[in-house]
Amino acid sequence: MQDFPLGAEGAGVVVAVGPGGAGSLTVGQAVAFNGASAFSEFVTLTRGSVVTPIPPGLGGAEAVALILSGVTACAALEVTAAIQPGEAVAVTAAAGGTGHLATQIAALQGCTVVALVGGPRKADAAEALGAQHVIDYSRQDVQSSLRRLFPGGLDVVYEGVGGHLREALLDCLGPMGRLLQGVEGVADAVDYMLRGQHVGKVVIEL
């Protein structure tokens, strides 16, 4: 299939710089990028702002993860939710793409992190990333576990799964708690609150 670019984030080496230059980028420089056909052998980038030089000591795979997933987790937690040390932060899919980064960011900020995962291997991974509490929703009841751990409710929920898990987390969100939810789930979350079950709680779109 032609003219159907695949891939978003990628990493590579600059092989040419077009007319007008590209800021500080030089031929031979390792870079990570977003917004291009990353699965291609060669990629032409017309906006220098989507290209980030990879610092020495950082591998291409790590840089690719950070350029979008890392920025998403960091902006959501540190800017939008403005997490504070001591706050209770729940992270769904805590061993996944943005989830494993959100877990580390919240832990480094001094929050009490509860990781929600599916399966023992992911539970071990989340614990290794700094989560103080891990709930395996394939074997544990999420609501009862959270209510036992945080009787006053959660301060922040970083949610990327949806469905029944999101509803369980909404039930455990404390007064003026912050739900960080992808755009596809915001309408459902708002509707859930407007039914009178979560009045006064805040929904934030990533």
Q: Is there a single domain that holds both residue 123 and residue 54?
A: no
**Residue 53 buriedness (CB in 10 A; 0-12 / 13-18 / 19+):** middle
Identify whether 1 is part of a domain. Answer: no
Q: Is there a single domain that holds both residue 148 and residue 49?
A: no
- Token pair, residue 106, equals 């919240």
Domain count, the chain: 2
For 68-71, the CB contacts below 8 A with 24+ separation are 68/8, 68/9, 68/34, 69/97, 69/98, 69/101, 70/98, 70/101
pLDDT tens for the chain, 206 residues: list them. 566 777 778 888 988 887 766 567 888 889 888 876 778 888 877 665 578 888 898 888 888 888 878 888 988 899 888 999 999 999 999 998 889 999 999 999 999 999 999 999 999 999 999 999 999 998 999 999 999 999 999 999 998 888 888 888 988 999 888 888 764 555 555 555 555 444 444 444 44
Domain that holds residue 139: 67-205
- Token pair, residue 200, equals 């006064």
Helical spans, DSSP H, in the chain? 60-65, 71-74, 97-108, 120-128, 142-149, 163-171, 183-192
> For residue 201, what is the domain's CATH number?
3.40.50.720
- Token pair, residue 147, equals 């209510």
Q: Is there a single domain that holds both residue 108 and residue 177?
A: yes
State the pLDDT at residue 200: 43
Q: H/E element holding 147?
A: helix 142-149
Task: Check residue 75 and report its DSSP letter.
Answer: I
State the pLDDT at residue 10: 86
State the pLDDT at residue 23: 67
State the pLDDT at residue 71: 83
- Token pair, residue 71, equals 């920025």
Q: Is there a single domain that holds both residue 17 and residue 110?
A: no
Q: Is there a single domain that holds both residue 98 and residue 14?
A: no
